[in-house]
Amino acid sequence: MTLAADIDCKQIREALGARSVVLVGLMGAGKSSIGRRLGQRLGLPFVDADTEIEKAAGMTIPEIFEKHGEPYFRSGEVRVVARLLDAGAQVLATGGGAYMNEETRARIRAQGVSVWLKADLDVLLKRVRRRADRPLLKADDPAEVLRRLMDQRYPVYAEADLTVVSREASHEDIVDDVITAIAGHVVPAKDLPAS
Ligand code: S3P
């Protein structure tokens, strides 16, 4: 197998062209923390769709849900992700629900390489407990909510171009796995370093 350390990130950038690397997956999968480090390694800007939605709305996500409801948030999410994809190559972390929208999936297919950061319930739960700003998890039983979302969303996330398991390892190890997966997808095999 090709090792991430041997991969020339310039080759990946060239192969991506104007396409972005788009991270999808459930809350707690590590899309933002992995995305930020991935951007640094690849030499691409990192953009977090949730942060951009908050900037555009002038409100936090909990405030948007509270004042306007989830459908309003979702339509803003569709518009913001479309705008970000049009901005050219970047590492884009999407909110957990973004990829569930058909229109957004089609745009990501056309303008990006999608990576599903797939994690077990235990891993997700441990990570989401660190923050209290996710409206969907303000429930009596967040584990139950996550389990339901896994059932609904995992078959759709599986449409992503690549799947990388977001396990309990260092961020750098997961970033290595993502880089290896992207290189295998976008760089012709003959141009990859031999192992
Ligand atoms: C959501 C995930 C959140 C945020 C919003 C809704 C979801 O983003 O967009 O709270 O539907 O899964 P993260 O996945 O970055 O936590």
Whether 1 has a pLDDT exceeding 70, the answer reads no
Distance 189 CA to ligand 1 centre (A): 35
Nearest atom, ligand 1, residue 136 CA: 10
- What is the average per-residue pLDDT within 14-25? 97
- What is the average per-residue pLDDT within 124-134? 92
Distance 19 CA to ligand 1 centre (A): 23
Please report the pLDDT score of residue 95 as a whole number.
Answer: 98
Q: How confident is the model at residue 73 (pLDDT cuts 50, 70, 90)?
A: very high
Please report the pLDDT score of residue 195 as a whole number.
Answer: 63
Mean pLDDT of the chain: 95
CB within 6 Å of ligand 1 — which residues? Answer: 27, 31, 50, 61, 95-97, 134-136
Nearest atom, ligand 1, residue 53 CA: 9
Other Cβ atoms within 10 Å of 157 Cβ, number: 21
**7 against 124, higher pLDDT:** 124
Q: Look at 2-11, 89-98, 180-189 and tell me which has the smallest mean pLDDT.
A: 2-11
Residue type (1 letter), 139: A
Q: Which residue is closest in CA terms to ligand 1's atom 11? A: 97
CB 43 within 8 A of CB 13: yes
Residue type (1 letter), 189: A
Distance 137 CA to ligand 1 centre (A): 9
**Closest to 134 (Cα-Cα) out of 21, 39, 31:** 31
Please report the pLDDT score of residue 61 as a whole number.
Answer: 97
Q: Tokens standing for 177?
A: 């796995």
Please report the pLDDT score of residue 3 as a whole number.
Answer: 74
